[in-house]
């Protein structure tokens, strides 16, 4: 995710910002970092396409590169997807657990 974020920061900072917003919203609402990562990756090709420029689409290399990166990131989360489906994926929380002192 971090490598892809660095690439997209240079290609389309506005699309990266949109993807980060998707990540934060999904993580805040559902409390699954893996689901937030998958959602952010899936949103990136669409955000790049629609935010590239108001009057023209991005070059095909950028479009297919963003799509390939999204597919690869989602594929690498296959274990997380399986745990999400089975209800076994751990949730993310900022609060400290009681009794863990």
pLDDT tens profile 40-61: 999 999 999 999 877 788 999 9
Is residue 25 in a domain?
yes
Q: What is the per-residue pLDDT for 101?
A: 45
Q: What is the per-residue pLDDT for 98?
A: 53
Cα torsion 88, 85, 80, 44 to 10°: value is: -140
CA 92 to chain centre: 16
Full domain range(s) for residue 56: 2-86
Answer whether residue 3 shows pLDDT above 90. no
Is residue 101 in a domain?
no
Is residue 99 in a domain?
no
Is residue 97 in a domain?
no
How many domains does the chain contain in total?
Answer: 1
Rounded Cα distance, 4 and 19, in Å? 11
How much is the pTM?
Answer: 0.86
């Amino acid at each position: 995710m971090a490598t892809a974020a660095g690439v997209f920061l240079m290609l389309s900072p506005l699309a990266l910002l949109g993807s980060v917003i998707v990540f934060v919203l999904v993580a805040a609402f559902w409390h699954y970092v893996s689901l937030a990562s998958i959602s952010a990756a899936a949103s990136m090709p669409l955000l790049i396409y629609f935010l590239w420029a108001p009057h023209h689409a991005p070059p095909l290399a950028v479009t297919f590169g963003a799509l390939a990166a999204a597919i690869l990131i989602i594929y690498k989360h296959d274990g997380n997807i399986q745990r999400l489906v089975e209800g076994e994926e751990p949730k993310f929380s900022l609060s400290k657990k009681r009794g863990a002192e």
